[in-house]
Amino acid sequence: MRVLITRPEREAAALAQALAARGHEAVIAPLFRLQILTPPDGFAASLAAAQAVLLTSANGARALAEASEQRSKPVFAVGDTTAATAEGLGFTNVVSAAGDAAALSDLVRQRLDPAAGPLLHVSGAEVAGEPVAAGFDVRRVVLYEARAAETLPDSARAALEARAIDVATFFSPRASMLFARLVTEARLAETCRAVTAIAISPAAAEPLAALPFARTVAAERPTRQAVLDEIDRLPPSGVQGLDPMTDTPVTPPPEPKTIEAPVVSPRRGVGVFGAFVIGLVAAVIVLAAALLSLPHWPQEARTLWRGPIAAPPPPPPAPAPAPAPVIDTAALDAAKRELSARLDDLDKRVRGAAATAAQADRPPTSDPAIAELRRKLEALESRPAAEDTSAVKSEIVALRAALQSLDQVVAGHKAAVDKATAAAQASAGNEQKALAAARGSAVIGIAARISAALTAGLPFTTDLALLQPLAQGDAKLSEQIAALQPRAATGVISKATLSAVFPAMAKAVLAEDLADDSFWQRLLGKLKGLVSLRRVGADVPGDSVEAKLARAEAAMEAGDLAKAVEIVKSLPPQTAQATASWLAAAEAHLAAQRAVDQLAAQAVSLLGGVK
């Protein structure tokens, strides 16, 4: 179906991409142009004083990112699309209400305390619903303006005049009112009779009653995903014909007069079976002629025949059934400071013990008293024999006794020094073991947190920052941090998302798998692009593209992403365009997982060195 999108250009482009992934064609006709405004005076002070920021649109997230570089302030978003936009812009503490302004108010009452400070509501100049929480001081600041178009966009006018619109989407009451006014002013209201209008909420559907739509549907939930679900539920309908537009009721033409034919005798013909064979052969001939003349068709006709190129859609942010966990940034910072302080203290104690051991290893200096006694003893022993030997011998005996006593004292001191040296070395060894154990335990904990982020497809910038003080002097840790750093801010596509988009990629691969340029191969490729049936399972034999895709999908279901990537890489070269996006996302996930595994192995080696 052809779907009219009235959102601003940025949101319209994202919605058009999602529609193309579902087989629909988008007609973009923005009714508003987004204008980012200069923040008012005192905005920085208001942001610093607020305990949290409330966002009721994705445009509010973009305007907030333009107005301030602060990304750690808690953000409460009205829906998943707004939350995903804020996370993509670098905000680290984002929670989604997955609903409307009332759901956002309920979430604020559950999570926040009115006494903790005011709330800052970042909005446009006009808002459909103001989040109001009893007891909270909500301060609204206007950071952007959606300026309305003065006339109906040319793309919408041309599509309506050509009866080429099946569905029209509306995401706010203001957009619905503006569209109804512009279509009425352009005198194109009658062209809406065969169009189904889908609004994001009952409030957005109410102004559409002024136009004669075939149906007006309000989404079950006020989210973009719910609008897409409503489009998928519609029965397929062909594009309307080029009927002339008129303001007067169209009266059916009079039935032609019947003329009785003369009765003739029946003659034998080719029969029912022969007519069927002749019709089948004629259809094949017409189809072959159309395909052979395809290069000479106008570009618009060729595009209409071939249809949009099937490619695996870039995985949108998976709608979370439950709000994302709130990251306590203050607690993480406190833990980081405590860990750094403990590491510095351990380092000082190790250096002190090493200095003590170095001083203990120095040779003891000679005692002056011992040197003097030795000198006197040598002098007495060298006296001439003529002198009184009895007095000399007595003095020698006394000196020898004193020398022996001093030697014993020195030996005692040396034993004490040796004991102190051994104690200092043992203490240094214990300190080093304690330091290694602390680093190993911390690295294991951080590796587990990053692995959980990879599984959920979430960013892990905060967890990776905790590794920086632990990597000082460790080349392996520094190398692993550098490998993870490019993907920390955005995270990687999870295995669950890769598995979910695999069937779409497989369908595109089958359509591209053309053995040659013959007519039958081109016809078979078209059929493969239209039919979703294919064999699945790990036991599908053969080396055909279909068999390899079946084995790759079975490997994905078994959790072996590396094997699935290896099989997809072995597909023929003509399928490279269809597999490029999926392979890039899968290899990024595998590279991040390898870095986390190496991180965990390094932590285990640090703990293994403690004996």
HEC string for 568-588:
HHCCCHHHHHHHHHHHHHHHH
What pLDDT is stored for residue 206 in this prediction? 93
Structure tokens at 54: 């409330």
397 in the same domain as 373: yes
Statement to judge: residues 481 and 508 lie in one domain: no
For residue 227, what is the domain's CATH number? 3.40.50.10090
Range from 253-262, 413-422, 484-493 carrying the lowest mean pLDDT? 253-262
- Asked if 142 and 80 sit in the same domain, the reply is yes
User: How many Cβ atoms are within 10 Å of 123's Cβ, its own excluded?
Assistant: 21
Same-domain pairing of 466 and 601: no
Tens of pLDDT, residues 14-28: 888 889 988 899 999
Is the residue at 264 inside a domain?
no
Same domain, 435 and 470: yes
Is the model's pLDDT at 213 over the cut of 90?
yes
Any domain includes 278 = no
CA distance linking residue 2 with residue 23, whole number of Å: 10
The two tokens of residue 214 are 């075939």
Q: Render pLDDT for 119-176 as a digit per residue (tens, 0 to 9).
A: 999 988 877 666 766 688 888 899 988 888 889 988 888 889 888 899 999 988 989 9
Q: Say yes or no: 338 and 481 in one domain.
A: yes
Same domain, 510 and 541: yes
Residue 294 lies in a domain: no
Q: Are residues 141 and 222 in the same domain?
A: no
pLDDT tens digits, 231-254: 999 887 544 444 434 444 444 444
Same domain, 428 and 550: no
Average pLDDT of span 272-287: 67
Domain-located, residue 394:
yes
CA end-to-end span of the chain: 69
Is the entire prediction scored with pTM above 0.85? no
Question: Measured between alpha carbons, how far is 294 from 301 in angstroms, rounded to an integer?
Answer: 9
Residue 30 predicted with pLDDT over 60: yes
Same domain, 169 and 93: no
Residue 250 domain-assigned?
Answer: no
State whether 361 and 464 are in the same domain: yes
Orientation of helix 224-233 relative to helix 9-21, angle to 10° = 40
Last residue of a domain, one of 453, 487, 521: 487
In a domain, 314, yes or no: no
Considering 133, 148, 163, which residue would you say is the last residue of a domain?
148
Among 487, 520, 544, identify where a domain stops.
487
Q: What DSSP character marks residue 488?
A: T
Q: Is residue 551 part of a domain?
A: yes
Q: How far is CA 556 from CA 112, 243, 581, in A?
A: 41, 50, 16
Indicate the range of 235-239, 455-459, 492-496 predicted with least confidence.
235-239
Q: Are residues 560 and 435 in the same domain?
A: no
Q: What domain range is 456 assigned to?
A: 329-487
CA distance 440 to 460: 20
Q: In the numeric block, which tokens belong to residue 88? A: 């993509």
Is 240 inside any structural domain? no
**Number of domains the chain contains:** 4
